[in-house]
Amino acid sequence: MPHLQFELNFTPPPAEKQAFAAAAKQHFAEIMSTGTDHIGITFRCYAEGDLVFGRAGDEGSIVFLNADIRLGRSAEQKRRLTLAILTELQRRWEIPEEHVYVIYTEHDGPDFQLSDRVLPSWRTGEDPLHD
């Protein structure tokens, strides 16, 4: 279950968060070659001064993405996902690319557990909730 944790120093309206989450899930599924039903997304919204990112300077919106994903994705897939997320953030909320930091943490499939199953290790084109 990929878990995409977005930390923002601003608070978008709920409808905007939902629309962004839907786009992020779709990008993840297409780029990372998997289904969407097991993708978890959280938003942690803070005050403007609560996030600090050196290259972003002292003002403006900042976004951190902590992405917990299953092992096996290529560096190219991770880069493509990063660029897709950067584009979504710019398009929806005008976040400069230099104000975004993406961190990937990789786990084997059994590190992701749901009520009815343990996820398998990742393989191309799989959909772990429907395979």
pLDDT digits (tens, 9 = 90+) for 25-63: 999 999 999 999 999 999 999 998 999 999 998 789 999
Residue for token pair 């779709």: 26
Cα Rg, the chain, nearest whole Å: 15
| Chain mean pLDDT for the chain | 93
Tell how strand 40-45 and strand 100-107 pair up.
Answer: unpaired
pTM, rounded to two decimals: 0.90
Residue 44 in contact with residue 7, Cβ under 8 Å?
Answer: yes
Residue pLDDT, tens place only, 72-87 = 999 999 999 999 999 9
pLDDT at 126: 81
Domain 3-111, CATH = 3.30.429.10
User: What is d(CA 96, CA 77) in angstroms, rounded to the nearest whole number?
Assistant: 22
